[in-house]
Amino acid sequence: MFGTGSPEATQVNGDHPGRAATQSFADFVGIGVHCAAGSALCSGANHGAADLLPDEPGPAYTGYNGLFGAKYVDPQIFPGGVPVDLDGNTIQDQNGHVGFPGFDGMVATNSLSWVAHMQEAGVPVTYAYISDAHDNHGTSGSIHVAYGPGQAGYTAQLAAYDAAFDKFFTRLATDGINKSNTLFVFTVDEGDHFAGSAPSPASCDGVTTACTYANIGEINADLRRMLRTQFGDTTPFTVHSDDAPTVYVQGNPGRSDPAVRTLERESAALHWVNPYTGLDEHGITVALADPVEENILHMVTADPMRTPTFTLFADPDWFFFATGGAVCPTQIACATNIASNPAQTFAWNHGDIQDEIASTWVGYVGPGVQNLGTASPWTDHTDVRPTMLSLLGLVDDYRHDGRVTWEILDPGVLPASLTANQAKVSALARAYKQITASFGDFAMTTLSLSTKALASSSANDQTYQLIETKLADLDARRDALALQISQLLDGAEFHGQPISISQASSLLGKANGLLEKAHDLDASF
């Protein structure tokens, strides 16, 4: 960010690069302000640095500065330059470094304090991350201790978060910042699956009766050693450790390479002793995707080196990594109940496809938003951006993968191009989400097909090749149709271009036909 030889680089290099618990980490990670052109806040006198964005479409993105890191942001927004939480306590990490406290240290009172101070300093658009409420964000050595649902520590932390939000809204209201003039949006990036034993007592609710647990913790499993032990496979690969690990075979071979296909079949057949139950657990692998299905799921980027050889979606109690290639001397040696090390317990898995992970929520309040309490339009994260832009009266240079969630908006703020033929256009928008969203009907149905393909062992891989060909065809049809629909919706949402009933009906029929085709194919294998 600052360049080789800069004072910042010198500080980082002298502060053990790669270690999170350092003053440099607290100084330069996690906090930043991007300023408008010519803003005094991000001037050179305030340590503003060039805010480079060479890929920005349209006119050259020049003349913009940013403040990067708490070291330079805090003196501009906190009196005395020392960051404090909503109660006035100095914000520091678990080892006493003042500044950004790490991603486990952004509890509500810390994160919301930065937002409030930025708003009060004239930063009109703020985004913040708040650490999960189900882990103990304590001191070094216990910062990753997980709570179970209804456990006393979890309940106390939720109460602390509620108190922080109350202070946050009260403070902003005193500043004249409220729902009459400000759009507030709250959401979670994903849900979590709790891995642990049943609560005790069985009737506990965490409110009148606290819950306790005999075991809290995911199953940590070494995928490479497990496959070698069970199948004798020594093919070298790495994984991005996760409940749904992405697998990268050394040398980046093609998807139909015999070694790759063997690993996929073995992954589908993997079974192992569950250290919680002591039983040989089959069905650890729930689903599989190679680059054909990964493209449908929007997991393929412009960088081919980032595309996984295949992805294994696992039972959510399991968390996979990969170390050396030695055979496991015992089952427990390669799949361990992490509850055996309570000082470093992880128990809330995410990144997978189960409903408690995939289904989340988003809340909007502000000018133009209806007071519905709760509503249930099927939406996903890509819809937040266009919905916010629509409410704020902004238009940008990007084609949206999402759509404006107009079901929650006041009719008076909607353009006539959306209110005309609204029932039919809404049906089209809902169908668009089901063919494009990563957890939509199309994605989940094709993932079922992909799993059957990768697990198959027919002669000459005929089943695999047949399904993969059909998936690629479905993907191409989906992408072409999604582009047509998104351009039509974008024109109506941001450019006043109405959608006729005939246009909406035609595209809706194609979307429903595509979903029907995917379902029929899945049922045929």
Which residues in 25-80 belong to E strands, given as ranges? 32-34, 49-50, 65-68
To the nearest 10 degrees (0 to 180), the angle between helices 223-231 and 258-269 is 90
Q: 239 — phi, psi (to 5°)?
A: -135, 155
Does residue 257 surpass a pLDDT of 90? yes
For residue 412, give both structure tokens.
Answer: 């008076």
For residue 12, give both structure tokens.
Answer: 């980082």
Residues 282, 384 share a domain: no
Determine the pLDDT at residue 341.
54
Residue 1's alpha-carbon distances to 20, 42, 61, 71, 232, in angstroms, are: 18, 15, 16, 14, 46
Residues 372, 514 share a domain: yes
Does residue 171 surpass a pLDDT of 80? yes
Determine the pLDDT at residue 340.
52
Most confident of 270-279, 454-463, 505-514: 505-514
Residues 332, 247 share a domain: yes
* Residue 286 resides in a domain: yes
* Residue 213 resides in a domain: no
pLDDT tens for each residue of 97-139: 999 999 889 999 999 999 999 999 999 999 999 999 998 887 6
Give the up-direction half-sphere exposure of residue 199: CA atoms within 13 A in the CB hemisphere.
Answer: 17
Contacts for 379 with CB less than 8 Å, ≥ 6 apart: 362, 402, 405, 433
Residues 144, 279 share a domain: no
pLDDT tens for each residue of 186-243: 999 899 999 998 999 999 999 999 999 988 999 999 999 999 999 999 999 999 999 9
The 3-state secondary structure of 12-39 reads HHCCCCCCCCCHHHHHHCCCEEECCCCC
* Residue 333 resides in a domain: yes
Q: Which of 299, 331, 350 is the C-terminal boundary of a domain?
A: 350
Determine the pLDDT at residue 215.
87
pLDDT tens for each residue of 405-444: 999 999 999 999 988 888 999 999 999 999 999 999 999 9
Determine the pLDDT at residue 343.
54
> Are 284 and 315 spatial neighbours (Cβ–Cβ below 8 Å)?
yes
Average pLDDT over residues 17-24: 74
CA distance 421 to 377: 18
pLDDT tens for each residue of 314-332: 999 999 999 987 999 999 9
3-class SS shares of the chain: helix, strand, coil, % to 5: 40, 15, 45
> pLDDT above 70 covers what percent of the chain?
96
- Mean pLDDT, the chain, rounded, equals 93
Q: Which of 319, 350, 381 is the C-terminal boundary of a domain?
A: 350
For 369, the domain range is: 361-523
Residues 268, 148 share a domain: no
Determine the pLDDT at residue 360.
93
* Residue 207 resides in a domain: no
Contacts for 517 with CB less than 8 Å, ≥ 6 apart: 474
Average pLDDT over residues 456-470: 94
Determine the pLDDT at residue 140.
64
Band of the pLDDT at 21, cuts 50, 70, 90? confident
Lowest average pLDDT, out of 257-266, 279-288, 341-350, goes to 341-350
pLDDT tens for each residue of 469-496: 999 999 999 999 999 999 999 999 999 9
Does residue 184 surpass a pLDDT of 80? yes
CA distance 36 to 409: 29
CA distance 333 to 471: 39
Determine the pLDDT at residue 332.
93
Residues 380, 328 share a domain: no
Residues 272, 377 share a domain: no
* Residue 185 resides in a domain: no
Does residue 54 surpass a pLDDT of 80? no
Residues 388, 507 share a domain: yes
Residues 401, 515 share a domain: yes
Q: Which of 116, 143, 176 is the C-terminal boundary of a domain?
A: 176
Determine the pLDDT at residue 446.
98
H helix runs in 191-296, sequence order: 223-231, 258-269, 291-296
pLDDT tens for each residue of 358-382: 999 999 999 999 999 988 889 999 9
* Residue 169 resides in a domain: yes
Determine the pLDDT at residue 267.
98
Strand partners, 321: 222
* Residue 206 resides in a domain: no
Residues 334, 239 share a domain: yes
Residues 415, 323 share a domain: no
pTM: 0.93
Does residue 17 surpass a pLDDT of 90? no
> Are 262 and 235 spatial neighbours (Cβ–Cβ below 8 Å)?
yes
Determine the pLDDT at residue 344.
58
Give the up-direction half-sphere exposure of residue 296: CA atoms within 13 A in the CB hemisphere.
Answer: 31
> Are 228 and 242 spatial neighbours (Cβ–Cβ below 8 Å)?
no
Number of domains making up the chain: 3
> Are 33 and 51 spatial neighbours (Cβ–Cβ below 8 Å)?
no
Residues 331, 243 share a domain: yes
Does residue 508 surpass a pLDDT of 80? yes
CA distance 220 to 346: 10
